[in-house]
């Protein structure tokens, strides 16, 4: 055996950390333009909270695309359904929600998250079986069919809940803000950040330290070989699709509480942002998705304060800039 | 010796192309059967059809007498067939260790077997926690083969393992294949390199235009140069 292949040193593996610092760079650029440190802190925390909510919604979509090669434009339906399920949980538990104590407040949110994730996971199973499975490997049909699914879901929500916006008020103890110096940090945003981070850490642990995660990462790279090793990738597809749908539902609960209202088209409206996050992050990459979501949210918040008119196009501009820098996104997975 | 693998009248269509046009052959248990032929003869298609990655449109494929051509690919793999594709198909984002952990689907890897593999692929031990994508071409091929033998399998399907490798690495690979053979594993090996075929093959099947055009002992074909030229032509000359 040649010396090289018997074990000469491998070329040093480059650790690509530049994209991970992109949100920090954006914050450093924005800080002097904003001027006031308290405003900067408030905007940054709001951006991070929004970013982690977007990440929660988008991470499922990026895994579904990475593993299944499915362009699911219907992902927004799960966001809306998740938010509506939350209203159904909050309604009978109004006592918990309006209590002054934190524990019942957190309890009702935890129940809403569990119910939404369960409902959206189950709906994801039906959606995959009925709509997605017949159009595997047919991208154009996937776009048409899943867009159709989103429209049908929205219309069903209108039919069931009516066309009006439904309020989803924050539980009492989560209203208001923590005041740190001159900066006001909304309590709910801290909770949203904590939940988003828990989702990210959970996904990172599963993907990197479990055999299931290995299978998902391997499937993102080469589905055929995973099957040739003896694993039924269709079951993995369904599991990932259900998990992605459940995460979208969870994101829908957080977004509904953040806006304190729910309407049937909220998921569809968010899909533009979610797709920008997934594309910027690199298709199939959970880490890239987190960086992408943080970037999108920070830019939206800073632009909204500094140049409100520019805020309308800030995310499109951000996407163009990122893709000029990294045409395959910040951290593309599986060599796609 | 009885046939472990048997193909009878296998046809495979890919799109509108009729690639395999009635393939018939057996692979004897415990032996290495070489599948030779010119480029485009249908060798890779035969292996992929056996694995169920492309479906046979007609004919029968059996493993130890049990039909497998209606089974999905994972079930075929679980019946005891391991596949080393021409592209190697290692998972480049995963480490060497993670690639082998996935291949050991029945549970934790057996340490004794792992040491056996490290015996002929020491690079895999050295780069155990390195990203597989950073390995050299030869090392990737070793990982691809190691993945197929990390647990005992009844039949190995290996597609052109020496393609694009340096002669020294090919020598190591030949040693490895002989060692696997000594362990009693049945191998169906697609190969363009006739020297490799001569060294490791017990039986030979030659394909042309999607059919088997010659079957016999490898030693007989190796000794019959006119027959080699007739069956393998330019492909043989290019690699000898």
The tens digit of pLDDT for each residue in B95-124 reads: 999 999 999 988 889 999 999 999 888 999
Q: Which residues contact A24 (CB under 8 A, 6 or more apart)?
A: none
CB pairs under 8 A between A and B: 95
pLDDT of A9 reads 63
**Residue A113 has which token pair?**
């998250």
Gap from B71 CA to chain A (nearest CA, Å):
12
Is the predicted pLDDT of residue B184 greater than 60, yes or no? yes
Residues of chain A contacting B133 with CB distance shorter than 8 Å: 335
Q: Which residues contact B142 (CB under 8 A, 6 or more apart)?
A: A5, B121, B123, B124, B172, B173, B176
Confirm or reject contact between A335 and chain B (CB < 8 A).
yes
pLDDT of residue B195: 87
> Per the CB < 8 Å rule, is B94 touching A227?
no
Contact assignment for A7 to B122 by CB distance below 8 Å: yes
Q: Which domain holds residue B122?
A: 90-152
Say if residues B110 and A255 touch (Cβ distance below 8 Å): no
The answer to whether residue B144 sits within a structural domain is: yes
Instruction: Please enumerate residues of B whose Cβ is less than 8 A from a Cβ of A.
Output: 51, 53, 72-74, 77-78, 83, 85, 89, 91-94, 98, 101-103, 105, 122-123, 125-127, 130-131, 133-136, 138-139, 142, 147, 166, 168-169, 171-172
Number of domains in chain B: 1
The 10 Å Cβ neighbour count of residue A120 is 31
Tokens of B110: 């057996």
Residue A181 is predicted with a pLDDT of 84
CA distance B106 to chain A (A): 10
Nearest to B169 among A2, A10, A334 (CB): A2
Closest CA to B123 of B108, B141, B111, B107: B141
| Predicted local distance difference test score (pLDDT) of residue B232 | 81
A233 has a chain B CB within 8 A of its CB: yes
Q: With contacts defined as CB-CB under 8 Å, which chain B residues touch A333?
A: 93
| A142-176 pLDDT tens trace | 999 999 999 999 999 999 999 999 999 999 999 98
pLDDT given at position A334: 59
* Min Cα separation A290/chain B (Å): 19
Q: Going along A243-289, which residue ranges are E strands?
A: 261-262
Region B55-77 average pLDDT: 96
**Residue B145 belongs to some domain of the structure:** yes
- The vertex-A171 CA angle with A168 and A177, nearest 5°, equals 110
pTM of the model: 0.83
**Tally of residues, chain B:** 240
Structure tokens at B225: 């140069």
Does the beta-carbon distance from A229 to B138 stay under 8 Å? no
The distance of A162 to chain B (nearest Cα, Å) reads: 46
Q: Are A155 and A147 in contact (CB under 8 A)?
A: no
Query: What mean pLDDT is predicted for residues B56-62?
Result: 96
Q: How many residues does chain A have?
A: 336
Is B208 within the bounds of a domain?
no
Q: Determine the pLDDT at residue B193.
A: 87
Is B180 within a domain?
no
Q: How many other C-beta atoms lie within 10 A of the C-beta of residue A325?
A: 11
Poorest-pLDDT segment among A183-192, A247-256, B61-70, B220-229:
B220-229
For residue B50, pLDDT beyond 80: yes
Contact across the interface for A217 and B94, Cβ inside 8 Å: yes
Residue B61: what are its φ and ψ, rounded to 5°?
-125, 130
Asked, for residue B147, whether it belongs to a domain, the answer is: yes
The answer to the question of residue B188 being in a domain is: no
User: A54 CB contacts (<8 Å, ≥6 apart)?
Assistant: A251, A270, A273, A274, A277, A293, A296, A297
Residues B204, B36 contacting (CB under 8 angstroms): yes
Determine, yes or no, domain membership for B123: yes
Q: Where are the beta strands (DSSP E) in chain A?
A: 166-167, 177-180, 183-186, 261-262
pLDDT less than 70: residues of chain A:
1-14, 334-336
Report d(CA B93, CA A335) in Å as an integer.
8
Nearest CB among A10, A220, A229 relative to B102 is that of A229
Domain assignment present for residue B236? The answer is no
- Alpha-carbon distance B201 to B7, whole Å? 19
């Amino acid at each position: 055996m040649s010396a090289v292949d018997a074990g000469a040193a491998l070329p040093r593996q480059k650790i690509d950390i530049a994209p991970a610092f992109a949100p920090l760079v954006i914050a450093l650029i924005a800080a002097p333009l904003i001027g006031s440190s308290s405003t900067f802190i408030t905007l940054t925390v709001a951006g991070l909270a929004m970013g982690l909510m977007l990440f929660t919604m988008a991470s499922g979509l990026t895994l579904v695309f990475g593993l299944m090669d499915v362009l699911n434009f219907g992902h927004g339906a799960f966001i809306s359904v998740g938010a509506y399920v939350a209203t159904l949980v909050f309604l009978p538990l109004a006592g918990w929600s309006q209590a002054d104590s934190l524990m019942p407040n957190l309890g009702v949110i935890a129940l809403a998250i569990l119910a939404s994730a369960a409902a959206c996971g189950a709906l994801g199973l039906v959606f995959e079986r009925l709509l997605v499975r017949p159009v595997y490997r047919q991208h154009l049909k996937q776009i048409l069919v899943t867009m159709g699914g989103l429209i049908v879901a929205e219309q069903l929500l209108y039919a069931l809940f009516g066309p009006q916006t439904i309020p989803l008020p924050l539980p009492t103890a989560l209203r208001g803000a923590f005041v740190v110096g001159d900066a006001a940090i909304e309590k709910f945003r801290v909770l949203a950040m904590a939940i988003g981070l828990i989702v990210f850490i959970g996904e990172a642990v599963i993907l990197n330290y479990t055999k299931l995660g290995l299978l998902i990462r391997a499937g993102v790279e080469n589905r055929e070989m995973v099957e040739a090793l003896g694993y039924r990738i269709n079951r993995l597809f369904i599991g990932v699709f259900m998990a992605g749908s459940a995460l979208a539902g969870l994101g829908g609960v957080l977004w509904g509480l953040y806006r304190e209202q729910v309407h049937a088209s909220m998921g569809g409206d968010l899909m533009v942002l979610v797709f920008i996050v997934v594309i910027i992050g690199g298709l199939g990459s959970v880490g890239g998705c987190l960086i992408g979501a943080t970037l999108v949210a920070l830019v939206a918040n800073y632009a909204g304060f500094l140049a409100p008119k520019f805020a309308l196009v800030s995310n499109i501009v951000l996407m163009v800039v990122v893709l000029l820098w990294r045409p395959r996104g910040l951290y593309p997975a599986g060599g796609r | 010796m009885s046939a472990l693998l048997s193909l009878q009248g296998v046809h495979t269509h890919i799109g509108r192309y009729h690639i395999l046009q009635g393939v018939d052959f057996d692979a004897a248990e415990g032996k290495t059967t070489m599948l030779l032929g010119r480029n485009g003869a249908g060798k890779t298609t035969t292996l992929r059809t056996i694995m169920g990655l492309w479906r046979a449109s007609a004919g029968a494929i059996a493993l130890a007498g049990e039909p497998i051509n209606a089974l999905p690919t994972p079930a075929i793999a679980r019946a005891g067939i391991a596949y080393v594709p021409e592209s190697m198909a290692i998972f480049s984002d995963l480490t060497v260790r993670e690639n082998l952990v996935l291949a050991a689907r029945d549970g934790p890897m057996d340490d004794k077997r792992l040491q056996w593999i490290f015996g002929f692929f020491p690079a895999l031990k050295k780069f155990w926690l390195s990203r597989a994508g950073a390995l050299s071409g030869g090392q990737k091929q070793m990982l691809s083969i190691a993945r197929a033998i990390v647990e005992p399998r009844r039949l190995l399907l290996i597609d052109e393992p020496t393609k694009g490798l340096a002669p020294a690495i090919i020598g190591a690979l030949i040693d490895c294949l002989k060692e696997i053979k000594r362990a009693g594993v049945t191998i169906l090996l697609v190969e363009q390199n006739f020297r490799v075929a001569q060294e490791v093959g017990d039986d030979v099947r030659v394909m042309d235009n999607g059919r088997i055009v010659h079957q016999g002992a490898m030693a007989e074909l190796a000794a019959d140069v006119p027959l080699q030229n007739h069956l393998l032509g330019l492909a043989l000359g290019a690699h000898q």
